[in-house]
Amino acid sequence: MKTVIIIAGPTAAGKTAKAIEVAQHFDTAVISADSRQCYREISIGTAKPSRQEMQAVPHYFIDSHSIREEVSAGIYEKLALSYAAEVWKDRDVVVMCGGTGLYIKAFCEGIDSIPAAPAAVRTAIQERYEKEGLAWLQQEVQEKDPAFYAIAEIQNPHRLIRALEVLYTTGQSITIFRTGNAVQRDFNIIKTAITLPKEQLHANIERRVHQMVADGLLEEVRAVLPYRNHNALQTVGYKEVFDYLDAKISWDEAVEQIIIHTRQYAKRQLTWFRKDKDFKWFEAGKGLLEEVAQLLKT
């Protein structure tokens, strides 16, 4: 049976290196499961694999889109399935690597088809949110979509914004479009995840952020200023630099906030993946390749 080996986990845990090692062992390709690395214009703030890493094994869904395009979990599901089918023509195994839990879930289980919002609707909500903050978002969703508000992560602006986009576009609650029925895939899925001791993960994150700054993060963010409302740029590493460019904070504060927010993001990633009991965890990736290779022998 065709197999996908998923290597998930928090940012800066060492997923990329381990995925390349596993892919080389099985002489196969890596499909990225990162919601931002697909955009050509943003490389430094997204910690894309290096040129050497990209040359080591074939990679899919990296530099595949322009920041002028919107990619969703639903689009990713279709793309990743087509990438896997392409690799499986000549191979029995493909590796999927990344930290975007929703994308991995969409690939493994399918995702409900939720209508996309017109750009004008998205922009209007985003501008209001930037002006009036999270409290406005929470109140608007609570009043206009109480069914979703009752089950929502009300501290997560992305989820609340998405709910409003659907509501303003269709006149219906986003909950109407969510069936929660998992699709049964006709391939084998092996779920692995990499973690590190908290202190080591935090040190890796801090080192990576300072490397991003040295590599030219500020210049990269300046270059994508016209697209600042794009979903991919409403994220850690970009929002903080936009605040600096808007003279809301100093450069040192921006860098410190990127480190803090990246640590918080890593914690959320750990929480997401730990909810799925099918994931087997490997500290620093030790023993992962050996275990997967053994599984595929039996």
99 is in an annotated binding site: no
Place of tokens 């004008």: 120
Structure tokens at 145: 């979509």
10 is in an annotated binding site: yes
17 is in an annotated binding site: no
13 is in an annotated binding site: yes
C-alpha 112/C-alpha 130 separation (Å) is 28
12 is in an annotated binding site: yes
14 is in an annotated binding site: yes
15 is in an annotated binding site: yes
* Binding site as annotated, residues for substrate: 11-16
* Binding site as annotated, residues for ATP: 9-16
* Binding site as annotated, residues: 9-16
